[in-house]
Copies of this chain bind each other. A is one copy, B any other.
Amino acid sequence: MCHTIAVTEARDHLDHRVRRSWTPAGGQDAILPPHAARWLASKTGLVERSTPAAPDSALAVAESALPEVARKALEAAVGADHVLRSREDRLGRAGGLSYLDLLRHRGTGELTVPDAVVLPADPDEVQRVVEVCAEHGVGLVPFGGGTSVVGGVQALRGTKESVVVVDLCRLDRLVSVDPVSRLAVLQAGVLAPEAERLLAGHGLTLGHVPQSFERATIGGFAATRSSGQASAGYGRFEDMVEGVRLATPRGEWRLGVAPASAAGPDLRQLVVGSEGAFGVLSEVTVRVRRLPETRRYEGFVLDGWSRGADAVRELAQRRVLADVTRLSDPHETEMAFSLSGGWKTAVVRRYLRARGVLDPCLLVLGWEGEPGEVAARRRATLRALGSLRPISLGTAVGEKWRHGRFSGPRQRDALLDMGVCVETLETATYWSGVDTLRSAVRAALVDSLATPGRRPIVACHISHAYETGASLYFTVLTPRDLDDPIGQWARAKAAACAAISSNGPLGTISHHHAVGVDHAPYLPAEIGSLGVDVLAAVKRELDPEGVLNPGKLLGP
């Protein structure tokens, strides 16, 4: 690449990642305030208990089944120090952050523990590790931040007798920057906050901020077609990917010579979203932007879901979306008000009643850029909203949302400790189906979870809007069935997925969480049996031994 600046950076954060252990993140915002717990109890019938994660020592972990010859070959590829087989190291990569993964770490259900953890240093070592696994018939699970919420990093063996996790944490470099073309080459294991720190040194940003931001990696974003909270402004991650370097059993595959092309199908879009089933991403070339000079986040309220959705649609179709555009339905708005509590929230509620708002829906809008540009774009957004009469709650509400926007996973740990079943799921559909699909999924969740004594909260928001449609993101809270937590979850998940994938209007089985294990049964309904056959054919071509991420994407 011309005009490219080669970059080397210190790696002082690395030890922490290599010595990874599976622990809830904790922190101040992981603690649910008493009024919130009371509200939850009154709404759902929750009887609070203490159900903490099991100590690691209590979990069953089988001995490593990695054959000696494979271990030696892997050690030859990456060095003996970088093939970890301790109980703790293996347990630290036993699954991700799905509800089932969290239950397993609480002693419910069977943990999938890899037989070893391999830590390649660079793309060439990744390539050798992939080839060794193919040669020895060892399953291989690529592992970035381990934040998958759909089972995408479960250490499943598939048809193999052993499986290793390839943790990419040592691939943590910003390789190069091309400031003229606004391109950066990042190794797959770079954490999102670290990517932003490295890019900020060049006055650049990626702008990709999913809720998993604090722990997720560049490679994981690409592997799962991630979409950040500012996708309206910065695009989905697949829009940012300009090139990939993929380690496959058949050799390294590099793609990406131009921003757009008519040289056949866009194969980058076949690699992006392949979830480790076609190869291990080792480097990603991404489009970057100038670091914004300023930002303005603001809260608004619209009266009623339909009006709110119309507002977001209007913004999307006029192409004046704010960079962050996020509409909560009345249930989520009520939950936000109730969980934050305090006199300020009470004032807001009173103010809205006084303005005649019956069914408040919170709309968070955020703009980023140069001051003049932010002002101009904000004016355009608000002008388009005019006739829908949004009520501004000011920047404090917007900033509060921004500061708390990565806390979901930590709050989930706290809720699990309290005996709550807490899960999120998401879909997307075209605008004409948004209302109906929201109602259908909501009804499926409520019907499958409500029992005498348990009243589920089902909240929903639109966080990603397009000219032709939008995402729908559901948060579910209900007292956990402590006798059968897996069955409780499985019935609700199946009901929601059926609502999404078997009746009109159809939605996608995942807008940004990916397929993993949990959604694999529903993929055929979305892409057809021919689609599944095509993916399987591609996998056979690239991974003839079938060692790559067993059980994900295409299922068992």
Which of A195-203, A295-303, A453-461, A510-518 is the interface stretch? A510-518
A10 interfacial by beta-carbon distance below 8 Å = no
B263 touches A523 (CB 8 A): yes
Which residues of chain A from 524 to 550 have a CB within 8 Å of any chain B CB?
A: 526-528, 530-531, 533-535, 537-538, 540-542
| A100 CB → nearest B CB, Å | 19
A469 interfacial by beta-carbon distance below 8 Å = yes
Chain A contact residues, CB within 8 Å of chain B = 1-4, 178, 180-183, 224-227, 236, 238, 242, 248, 250-251, 253-255, 257-267, 269-275, 287, 289-290, 313, 317-318, 373, 376, 380, 427-433, 436, 464, 466-471, 504-515, 519, 523, 526-528, 530-531, 533-535, 537-538, 540-542, 553
Identify the interface centre among A253, A380, A515: most chain B CB within 10 Å of its CB: A253
B431 touches A181 (CB 8 A): yes
Which residue on B lies nearest to A500, using beta carbons? Answer: B257
Q: Which of B254, B265, B271, B427 contacts A274 (CB 8 A)?
A: B265
Contacts of A506 in B (CB 8 A): 257-258
Contacts of A272 in B (CB 8 A): 265-266
B181 touches A1 (CB 8 A): no
Contacts of A236 in B (CB 8 A): 260
Knowing A2-B505, A242-B468 touch, does A530 contact B262 (C-beta < 8 A)? no
A553 touches B432 (CB 8 A): no
A510 touches B262 (CB 8 A): yes
Q: Which of B265, B313, B427 contacts A269 (CB 8 A)?
A: B265
Which residue on B lies nearest to A380, using beta carbons? Answer: B376
Contacts of A248 in B (CB 8 A): 530
Complexed CA–CA distance, A515 and B540 (Å): 25
A250 touches B530 (CB 8 A): yes
| A466 CB → nearest B CB, Å | 4
A270 touches B273 (CB 8 A): no
B225 touches A432 (CB 8 A): no
B432 touches A2 (CB 8 A): yes
Q: Which of B471, B509, B542 contacts A263 (CB 8 A)?
A: B509
A508 touches B468 (CB 8 A): no
Knowing A227-B262, A533-B250, A538-B538 touch, does A182 contact B468 (C-beta < 8 A)? yes
Complexed CA–CA distance, A394 and B437 (Å): 50
Knowing A287-B468, A515-B264, A519-B263 touch, does A430 contact B541 (C-beta < 8 A)? no
A534 touches B258 (CB 8 A): no
Identify the interface centre among A257, A262, A317, A432: most chain B CB within 10 Å of its CB: A262
Q: Which of B264, B471, B508, B540 contacts A535 (CB 8 A)?
A: B264
| A473 CB → nearest B CB, Å | 12
Complexed CA–CA distance, A183 and B264 (Å): 25
| A228 CB → nearest B CB, Å | 12
